[in-house]
A and B are shown apart, each in its own frame.
Chain A
Amino acid sequence: MRMNFDIEVRITLKPGILDPEGRAIQHALADLGFPTSRLSTARIFSISMEAGDRTEAEEKARQMCERLLANPVIHRYEVEVRE
């Protein structure tokens, strides 16, 4: 039986990779009176799809990351599956 799964994919920069967008936002926040010691950006994809089971849903989401959503040179990704 196919079930519907809600999946959240979170793409972040690998540690040590320069995050110019995060840096610009951090500077803007400081100008507004909110000094921060760290700020990094991430991208979240909310996906719904059918799969036979949880493992298949997670595997499909990982393949999505490998093939399109993330760039392995600079990104890492996390996949969270909810039924």
Chain B
Amino acid sequence: MRFAVVQFGGSNCDLDAAHVLSHICGVDTDLRWYKEGLGRDYDAVVIPGGFSYGDYLRAGAIAARTPIMEEIIRHAKGGGLVLGICNGAQIAAESGLVPGTFTINAYPKFLCRPTHLRVENNETPFTSLYREGEVIRLPIAHKEGRYMADAAVLAALNRERRVIFRFSDPEGRVTEEVNHNGSTENITGVLGEGRNFLAMMPHPERASEKVLGSEDGKKIFLSMIRYIEATG
């Protein structure tokens, strides 16, 4: 089993993601510079957080149109797992891998804080180790993370149970007070159509070790590993 973590110019959570995968989860992981492409088949690809291309035009817009993204789209169409975190989620939305968009926060400043999330669906390759409705604690760090989609897309996402995480309070109540960035329906994690692509704004790689205050994020990576073992 082998994971790839993609590095764009301006990625800055690439080493954290690779550290968690290789040292905490014990899975072989390669860092792949975007200009060199994936170079081989991988079981899973992680698009990490950061500020690819300086967030010029729109966050993720330019990285979404690089040749390595065509490889990642092929990988996803072939059933391979892809996890887009923060800037990776913005890139995923810009490339059409998940519907909707992550745009400038309702209160337009950079938010860096721990948040509570309710796990809305645990029957996915990314969340099988959580309980449904479980409340987990992961940090956010973004200025363009407000999820937006039109009514038809939202209806489809809800119907198909492709909303994976919503901002909630510690008791799991989804309210406007805890909707940190003003996302539609508090949504901050959505699955692509093939259900093998998760785009999420919070950072699981920053909450995968007790010493960092929460290890709730680790189960996302472990769920992916379990899924690959079960299907491989």
Query: Which positions in B face A, CB cutoff 8 Å?
Result: 57-58, 61-62, 65, 94, 100-101, 103-108, 148-150, 182
Contact = CB atoms under 8 A, between A and B. Distances in A.
Contacts of B101: 71, 73-74
A67 B106 CA distance: 26
A23 B105 CA distance: 12
Given A67-B65, A74-B148, 14 more contacts: A17-B148, A18-B106, A18-B182, A20-B104, A20-B105, A23-B108, A24-B108, A68-B57, A68-B61, A68-B65, A69-B57, A73-B100, A73-B150, A74-B103
A69 B61 CA distance: 9
Contacts of B108: 20-21, 23-24
Contacts of A68: 57, 61-62, 65
Interface of B is mostly: loop
Contacts of A73: 100-101, 148-150
B58 A21 contact: no
Contacts of B105: 20
Interface in A20-47: 20-21, 23-24
Contact of B61 (A23, A24, A71): A71
Contacts of B94: 71
Most B CB contacts (10 A, CB to CB) among A21, A23, A71 go to: A71
B71 to A, nearest CB: 18
B57 A20 contact: no
Nearest to B94: A71
Interface residues of A, number: 12
A73 B148 CA distance: 8
Interface string A55-73: 0000000000001110101
A20 B61 contact: no
5 contacts: A17-B148, A71-B61, A71-B103, A73-B148, A73-B150
A9 to B, nearest CB: 12
A71 B100 contact: no
B152 to A, nearest CB: 12
Contacts of A18: 106, 182
A74 B101 CA distance: 8
Nearest to B105: A20
Nearest to B60: A71
A76 to B, nearest CB: 13
A67 B149 CA distance: 18
A73 B107 CA distance: 20
Given A71-B94, A73-B149, A73-B150, A21 B61 contact: no
Nearest to B61: A68
Contacts of B107: 20
A52 B27 CA distance: 55
Contacts of A74: 101, 103, 148
A71 B65 CA distance: 13
Most A CB contacts (10 A, CB to CB) among B65, B101, B149 go to: B101
B104 A21 contact: yes
